[in-house]
Structure 1
Amino acid sequence: MPKAPRKSSQEGRGTGSGDERTQLLRRIAELEEREAHARYIVQAVGVSIWEEDFSRVMEELRGQGIRDVRAHCAAHPGFALRMLELVRVVSVNDASLRMFRASKQEELLSSLHHVILPESLAVFIEELAALLEGRPFFQTESVVQTLDGQRLEVLFSFAWDAVTGRVDRVLVTLMDIGERKAAERALQESEARFRNMADHAPVMMWVTDTQGRCTYLNRQWYDFTGQTEEMGLGFGWLSAVHPEDARLAQAIFLEANVRRASFRLDYRLRRADGEYRWAIDAAAPRFGPGGEFLGYIGSVIDITERRRREELLRFLVETGATLASSLDYATTLSTLARLAVPRLADWCLVDLLEDGSVRRVEVVVADASDEPLVERVRGFPARLDGNSHHPPTKALLEGRPVLLPEMPPESLPWHAHDEEHARLMAVVRPVSLIAVPLVAHGRTLGVISFISTSRSGRHYGAEELSAAEELARRAALSLDNARLYRDAQRAVRLRDEFLSVASHELKTPLTPLALKLQMLVREVEAQRDSPIFQRMLGHLEVSLRQVRKLSELVNDLLDVTRISSGQLRLEGEEVDLAALVREVVARFQPQAERVGCSLSLEVDGPVMGQWDRPRLEQVVSKLLSNAIKYGAGHPVSIRVEAAGARALLVVRDQGIGIEPHTLPLIFRKFERGVSERHYGGLGLGLYVTHQIVQAMGGTISAQSTPGQGATFTVELPLPRAPRAP
């Protein structure tokens, strides 16, 4: 069997070499494809990419043995520029042409001098240092310029191939960050403007992040609280809030922070001098363009003076209401002093001017431990002949308020009446004082003094002086009213005493006069045959009527004095109101006939009750007398009935009536429904009637239409019916 021909070694090598060549060509094609793809990416990317040759630069650095290029450049200012001339730009991408306003690559492949600015040399020096130190990459911000001289802000990236060790070939990327830097500058300028505005704002301001941590406090906060940034930022600001308010303030703030809601709260804030001041803290949430929560911006305002004004206003309102609630002279003085302590003063002194001398009538102190000093202080009132520098005396003499914002210990002898007074003032330890005269209707009644001591440390100013003046004005009017009321009460008592005495004195001769007239009537009636019988009888009847009228007036005066003094007495007994009214109507029948009135009585049956018979008869007589008097020539109707638990007496006339504006007043003392020139009277009858009815547990009312008469209705309580067993 013949053998297959053997391949020659040359033939085998040829075939093997062909495979290797094919693989090599395929590898080269892949590399070319990758390079093309990389070049496409380099050209398509929007970042400026430069390939630079630093071989000549490295030769120069090594040749000179330079190890610290930064120090060398600092010692030789022109060295960096000379090194820049040795750098050769190998290639740039299309983005570089667009960025640097070049029309073709050749314009950028020359020296870097036309794109590097003096202030960007520091970046080039750092690039040289990275090459010498073996750092394959670094990045920083820099500035360059375009071929037409436009300045560009760029993010500069420097890299060389550390794998192959080719430090002479460098890849540099430049990203235009001009818009970002402009936005950053705008933001910085905005923040700077905000900080400048906030630092010059008349209020304290603050800013927080999303977690509620304070990131900014303005200068006013630090000036007010004495805190530093390290102390105040974060949640450190709470350490300046009063311990009693801090926990609540933090809780309200954090709760609002969770809800992203506005808030407002009051708390006491410690000032740099240690004094706590009331402040109002208000803030609103901040949101970004997309609605994202950014934190809060808020303000803190010292409202101590405003709160003080509001408290003073409330104090004056309460004071006015309290002072107006009493017309008692002593109560007004005591109330006046006690209202001021401790809200306005630690001590309050009231001096009154009476009969040319001054008397200290009230001393009130806030601290109980000062009570032992009260009587001693009472002994040093204002004195018309005393030290004119003594504040209460000065206010009294000059008729205007005295304000002492400061009273240092060394000034006390100057303000005291004598040495003993100065020693007492030193014990009281005043630090500030206001003395205001009490003036009403141009008359000085006294002076009120408000003293602040070292216990409270309060210092008076314009606000307190204004409040003290207003209090003194109201107090003076109240005091004057109380004095007038006291004088009026004294005058009323004197009048009532006079009326009582006068009534008794008038009644004394009226009784025997009435008896004498009645005797004369009987004697004249016995002489009916006498030619002067009728004439004498008429004169006597007129005289008796006038005496009875005068007796009624005197009795009204006596009743008024009894009512005013609380001496009106009632004796209850079983009375038939219907029978009593029937008797009174019969007695008034002649009088009614004389003036042309007809009396009609409507009674269903007995109306029994427990009343004072004489006084009840007085009520019926007064109402019937008025009906006949003001309804002359017209009929008068009287009705008596029991209506449930009340007895009713209704008297109606058809006379002149009562004007609407007068109707509510007719049951008052000395009030009249008509002119006294036409009808006479003292204006006491209905007042006494009203008081009697009221004393018996009843009521009386009136209804009237002018020209159509008046109706008076008396309601009296009836005894309760016994319960069935």
Structure 2
Amino acid sequence: MLTAGLISWLNESRRTAQRQAEANLKLLHESQVRFGRLTESNEEALRQRETELRLITDTLPVLISFVDSEQRYRFNNLAYEEWFGHPAAEVYGKTLWEVLGESAYKVLRPYVEQVLAGEQVTFESQIPYKDGGTRYINAIYVPQFNQQGTVEGYAALITDISEQQAALRERKRAEAALRESEARFRQMADTAPVLVWMSATDTFCNYFNKPWLDFTGRTLEQEMGNGWTEGVHPDDFRRCLDTYTNAFHARQKFTMEYRLRRFDGEYRWVFDTGVPRFAPTGEFLGYIGSCVDIHDRNLAEKALRDSEERYRILTEVSPQAIWMGNSDGGITYCNQYWLDFTGLTMQQTTGYGWICAIHPDDRVGVARHWHRVFKTSMEAVANATNYEVEIRFRRVSDGSYRWHIVRGLPFRDAAGQIIKWVGIASDIHDRKVAEAALQQLNEMLEQRIQERTVQLEAANKELESFSYSVSHDLRAPLRHIGGFIELLQKRHSSTSLDQTSQRYLKIISETAKQAGILIDELLTFSRMGRTEMRYINLNMEELVQEVKRDLIAETPGRIIRWHIKSLSEVQGDPSMLRLVLRNLIGNAVKYTQTRNPAEITVGSIDNENEVVFFVQDNGVGFNMQYVHKLFGVFQRLHSDPQFEGTGVGLANVQRIIHRHNGRVWAEAVVDSGATFYFSLPKLLRKEGE
């Protein structure tokens, strides 16, 4: 209302000023005409009329100027001196741009050109004068014509409306501030996590925020007035309405809980708070209120009550002792199990009375442990520790002491202070007896294992020594057999022996050679278990290239396509790992001799903790059903005489890789090639670590 009145007053003042200015300008024009006519009569009348004109114009509260066609000042009334602070006579005959300055003239020039063209001009503008001042003016330019009808100048009636403009700007700022305040309120209300409502002095609601409308799923028009009551649960309606009405008439704050229907039809409990609104003058304006959805809280409280009841029932029927203590460590509650087990009453148990049920030998230790944990937990939350101790409690039924494990957990408030302890005591007597028996059995087994380990190590050493001795002792007879066969073949020419005898000698010679190879392999296998390992950084690509050169020299005429990938460096024994590569790549060469060309690939896979190397071929492969036999001593999956072997090479591979703390395995498909893998750890643990 205040804003509307201010606007009306400003508009009326402006219209009044406009009418007065036009009337003054008309009077001025008539006086000028009379002045012009009198000029032709006599000079005395001219001076009299000039004085009359100045008296008239000097009494007007506006600036009046006459400007000729050359834009030179010919007259200014007394208001000029009040505006600019110097006499009007000083600017007589000067041009507009000389008096006003270039900035002001630039603004006025279009209007001056228009009035000199014979048009009356009315405008409002902000003028920056050369003296540094700035005014917001309302101006009327009226052209002046001579007897020939030519424009000889113009009269300017200028009103300073700066104050009116300031008032208008202030009003606009007030309106903008009001709109901004209303926008902030609406934004706050619409983004608040509560349901907001407002009512007028007639008890009817006239505002609901967006969360309210979203919650109810209704429009603002539907909720206005008393429409919102349609969403109140019928059982809560009368109580809700009475609470609101009584508080409204008493102009008092109120709170109430009721069920409000949500957009999906569910009635949910809300907590409503209403506060009366008063103007600065004390006038009652109505109510503003907010509702909070407490449905889930109510459900949680009910669930908590139900949980507490279930907890009480469970503690009373529990087959374990359940206890609670205060912040000082004194017992405040024990369930029925404790009372039945110890024969103590609740009164005898509370505080520190429960200690009398502890075995005399355990009391001192238990008390010290309890006070140590309690003190640590009280000092800081970061040092909080649960209480756990094993205690013997006396059973009242037979007077025996039975082992229990007692556990306690501290509960703290928001400030981190312990407010209570909750714990449980479980009977572990039978377990303790079983553990003691098991401990005794473990000690016996440990002793037996140590004894058997010593025996096994001795047996292994004897076996290795035996294998080494036998291998060496067998070499001499085999050399004799080979030598005498060679002498026998030289003594008897091919014509003196029949074909059967020659075949027998050939078989004996080849068998002796095969036995010699087998003995060499057996010696190598035996040495692998006794040879001391030396660990160095190895370039696996160089080892592979060395093995490849040796195998190419042993297989002249074969077409083999080699695919050697980039291989990671590892740590290991160079001679042993060279033997691994020799066996695996040699097998790939051997079992691809029926392929033309043969394809052999050697590569590696870099995993997080290990490097996996593989040798892949396109040879005859093997049946995965027998893969478990692959790395056993003297185990061969190919009996074809075309593929020679002793069955010791892969056993050596496995033994070497295991000594490097790695793994070895293989994959294959019959007649479609095989792939052998072995892994070496990145951070190699030396043998025995």
**TM-score, scaled to structure 2:** 0.33
